[in-house]
Structure formats: structure tokens, C-alpha cells
Amino acid sequence: MSSDMQLEEKLKFQFKDSNILERALTHPSMGKNRPNYERLEFLGDSVLGLIISAELFNRYPNEAEGELTKRLAGLICGDTLVKVSQHLGLAEHIIMSESEKTSGGRDNKANLENVMEAIIGAIYLDQGFEAAKEFVLREWASLIDKMVEPPKDAKSALQEWAQGRGLPLPEYVVTKQDGPSHAPDFEISVTVQGYPTEIGTGNSKRIAEQQAAAKLYSALNK
């Protein structure tokens, strides 16, 4: 059985265009002349956010925006993407250069996160929104079910962490804004003095800030 067929079995999804799947699995280290997952990653991030947002909106009709935002941030953050990627065994299917492999590329969480988003984008391109929705809700079902209460606000948790160590408050900076005014896409960085920066993305500043804070708080507590 080919690697693509094995992966499609794991995904429970058969691509009409195998080239889209190959692109979703191709790491940028393969060179500028070979299409890679970066554009599909961008698309998949937005598709995932919309699907999860709609599911939470319908599932929790009495929750305020702030509570829904906390749930969303926890379900689309990097750590969650890595968990789903690992569950599906995507690492062994990533197409990468030998130098990337030897530097630990298959265990690199950023690679796992990026490929997961790219797969979602690829499914959307190959067979449309409903196919992507079916895939996401199937793979995220247990994660949504286990989130009985909205997780603690990541920004508050990060602020408390910094203050508890006598550090200045976390600093948030909008590093990129794309898309039209009615459907923007934000990239926001967060920094705590003396520690590495983390990046969050989302279709609102609040979501991007929460995602960035969640990633940094998780990294600081490992």
C-alpha cells in the first residue's frame, strides 16, 4: 500500500487530486521550486477557525462571546493541532529534506501544527467546505466534548505568571494583518521579558492574542 493510501485511511478521506495532498505534506525545506504547505496552512487555519466557531456557537447558545472565545482559543491553538496531528500519525508522511530530518523535523511541533492546518486546507480545496467540516468535527469531537467548562483565560493566566515572578506585563504586538476589512486575519506576537516570543493567529485580535498567550503560557510551564 502506498504512503498516500495509508494516510488517506488514517484521515478517512480520499483525495480526488493527489497533488493537493502532496503539497499539503511538503515542507519548505524541499526548495523554492517545489510547492509546499505554507499557502494551504494559511487557508486551513481560517477554515478550522470557522468550523470550530460555528460548532461552539450552536452547541453553547447561552454562552457569552468571551466564553466562546476561550473555548475557541483552546481548540485551535498549536498544542491542540499537534495532538491531532500526532493522533493521525502525520509526522511520518511529511516530505522534507534530509537536513530537516536530521535536525529533528519529524518531531518538530511547528511542522506538525503546520501540516495539520495544511491538510484541512487541502481537504477544503479538494472537496469543499462540507468535507472539511466533516473531517474537523470528527477529529475534534472528543476534544470539544472534554471541554466541559471554558478553559481559563490564557491572557489572564499569562499575566498572573509574569506578575508572580516580578516581571513586566506581557507585551502584545500586531505583526501582520491580511484580508478585507469585513474578514480580517491577524497575526499577533506576545513576549514576556526574558523569554522567547510566541505567535497567535485568528480572525480577530482577541482570538489571536488568546492563542498567542496560550502558546507562550504552555511553553513556560513545560
Q: Which residues are catalytic?
A: 45, 117
Contacts with 204 (C-beta within 8 Å, 6 or more apart), sequence order: 184, 186
Q: How far apart are the C-alpha atoms of 49 and 201, rounded to whole Å?
A: 10
Q: How far apart are the C-alpha atoms of 85 and 113, rounded to whole Å?
A: 7
Q: How far apart are the C-alpha atoms of 195 and 122, rounded to whole Å?
A: 35
Contacts with 218 (C-beta within 8 Å, 6 or more apart), sequence order: 77, 78, 79
CA dihedral 99, 115, 79, 57 (to 10 degrees): 170
Cell, residue 29: 525545506
Q: Is the CB of residue 188 less than 8 Å from the CB of residue 175? A: yes
